[in-house]
Structure 1
Amino acid sequence: MSLRTDRFGSAEVVPFPRRTPGAVASETQLPVLIILHQESSTPGRVGNALRALGHRLDIRRPRFGDPLPETLDQHAGAVVFGGPMSANDSDDYIRREIDWIEIPLREQRPFLGICLGAQMLAMQLGARVAPHADALTQIGYYPIRPTAAGHALCPAWPAQVYHWHREGFELPVGAELLAEGDDFPVQAFRAGNAFGVQFHPDVTYAMMHRWTTRGYDGFSAPGARQRHHHFADRAVYDVAERAWLDHFIDGWLTRRPVLAQAAE
């Protein structure tokens, strides 16, 4: 089932709420659902940021038979990570994950899709996911430009962020564009309490070593940066990307569901 709606278009973009020093919200007692796509995958720096805020991680791999919850009532939020597969693949677990995203959208729970996860979110919202018309890829660091809505929501975006993808996606109808790029225009967007980012703020230094070793054949693709540029650029841009991620994750989880606010 695909949830196509324009209800997000009227939502006002406001800054993420800041956590009160010393206060522990009840949401922090709930685990965050983590959806991974390979046996060796980890939540990386996103997982580190969530643990630092006091959250346990409920890690599930639907590709290998793990079930997904029928509600997020027992979770503070959900993160769907990336992987080498495509949101256009016909595998059953891909279809099930895309359909499952309807649950956090309907319940207006905090949801974050990273790379493949963002493409799945876009597809659930009715947008097209496809390779670049000129077969370009983004493998390495590339610049992004936050929009006015992106600045209003979360200041101090990094100038360049880490990517590893061959496909991009359209902006879903009614969604708010938060950051844009050149070859792949939609880099970050918001639909209610759901967010999608095309880039990889989750990648740690160790993960970069693994990806650039196991995925070495990707460097021959049009637009890809060579391996040594990944590490040279990380030395320049990673501090800003890590600081942005910490601020984003905190604000994303303290953002209260719209329905709960309306009921007060």
Structure 2
Amino acid sequence: MKTLLALRHLYFEDLGNLEPMLVQLGYHVHYLDVCTTELTDIDPQRADLVVVLGGPIGAYEEASYPFLVQELELIRSRLKSGKPLLGICLGAQLIARALGAEVYPMASKEIGFNKVSLTGAGQASALASLGDVPVLHWHGDQFDIPPGATRLAESDLCTNQAFSVGSNVLALQFHLEADPGRIEQWLVGHAAELAAQGIQPDAMRQEALKVSSQLEQVCQSFIQGWVRQLV
């Protein structure tokens, strides 16, 4: 059985819809709560796949959250190995930083279900299954595309929504993994942020309900396609 190490920052921001699909593909999933784990004790090369998940802090806030220093080193080590690595939201931003790109605040936050537009390279990638299906966005920061990486997607509010490095490294700013059926966890966990942005929770509930079945199909097509081409 293949092993998957998921670096988690918040309990409910997990692998979501991707987890049962990855299990079907033969992965044994192990979560590592990076906020409370001594990361220097972790060998980032042992797992067949590493996934760095999201969280409500900045990838550049190591002065406030010192564990980020160790997490960035772990990601750099994984990148040097060339082994498969997937980053989502904060995870994507940390990969961008580890590759030498800047991460910084946007003019306004992007929260809600909206479409992304794929570049030519994105349309030729595992993300092609996205089509016009809205995905969950929940971020106030953005990354530049690292040197040598390929830009895959954009949205109206955020120019860089995804990039890849070779076949084995993929970074997604949006939450393709988020299970719309568990949106209540997000609404409660980020209640203060929603209130500050003037976003009504019920509006997001209704959006989640509309896209639930489509997103599950998109997730399945995406993860099957991406895992199939891993080296």
In 2, Cα distance between the equivalents of 1:123 and 1:190? 14
- Residue 231 of structure 1 aligns with an amino acid whose one-letter code is R
Q: Does 1:210 align with 2:185?
A: yes
CA RMSD of aligned residues (A): 2.0
Number of the residue aligned with 1:195: 170
* Structure 1: unaligned runs, 5 residues or longer: 1-28, 258-264
The Cα shift of 1:240 comes to 3.0
Counterparts of 1:1-264 in structure 2, within 5 Å, are 29-39=1-11, 41-67=13-39, 69-72=42-45, 74-90=46-62, 91-132=65-106, 134=107, 136-154=108-126, 155-159=128-132, 160-192=134-166, 193-222=168-197, 225-257=199-231
- Confirm or deny: 8 A CA contact 1:158 1:240 kept in the other structure: no
**CA 1:55/1:43 → structure 2, altered by over 3 Å: closer, same or farther?**
same
- Confirm or deny: 8 A CA contact 1:161 1:241 kept in the other structure: yes
SS at match of 2:210: helix
- Confirm or deny: 8 A CA contact 2:180 2:209 kept in the other structure: no
The Cα shift of 1:41 comes to 4.7
The Cα shift of 1:105 comes to 1.6
In 2, Cα distance between the equivalents of 1:158 and 1:113? 21
* Structure 2: unaligned runs, 5 residues or longer: none
Higher CA-based Rg = 1
- Residue 54 of structure 2 aligns with an amino acid whose one-letter code is G
The worse-fitting range, judged by mean Cα deviation, of 137-146 and 242-251 is 242-251
- Confirm or deny: 8 A CA contact 1:180 1:187 kept in the other structure: yes
TM-score (ref. length: structure 2): 0.88
SS at match of 1:231: helix
In 2, Cα distance between the equivalents of 1:200 and 1:186? 14
Percent identical? 28
- Confirm or deny: 8 A CA contact 2:2 2:26 kept in the other structure: no
TM-score (ref. length: structure 1): 0.78
In 1, Cα distance between the equivalents of 2:92 and 2:157? 17
SS at match of 2:123: helix
- Confirm or deny: 8 A CA contact 1:112 1:194 kept in the other structure: yes
- Residue 144 of structure 1 aligns with an amino acid whose one-letter code is V
In 2, Cα distance between the equivalents of 1:255 and 1:93? 32
